[in-house]
Amino acid sequence: SLLHNLTVRNNVQPGVVSHPVDLIALRLPSQLVKPLITEEPISTDVIWVYAGLEQQALLLSREDEQGQLSFRYP
């Protein structure tokens, strides 16, 4: 909430809002979210995207036998 509520005072571009941070993305160890996820296998890292209290997502990734990377948004 601290970065998301950040504003600038000297907004010199009329088409740009005064909130420079739209969203925050953070890499989390998968061990932190494994109790919440029934899907297996997932990569060692999960991406948490935060754009507000009601706008959050986890991005999961995994690699198949051919090395193809796929992403999932549960």
The residues that bridge with 69 in the sheet, in sequence order, are 63
- Residue 41 to residue 51: CA distance in whole angstroms: 27
* Cross-strand partners of 10: none
Token output for 28: 């989390």
What global pTM score does this model have? 0.64
pLDDT tens readout for residues 13-65? 777 767 667 788 999 888 887 777 777 777 778 899 988 888 899 888 888 88
pLDDT at 19: 67
**pLDDT for 49:** 92
Cα 42 to its chain centre, rounded Å, is 16
Q: Looking at residue 69, what is its pLDDT?
A: 83
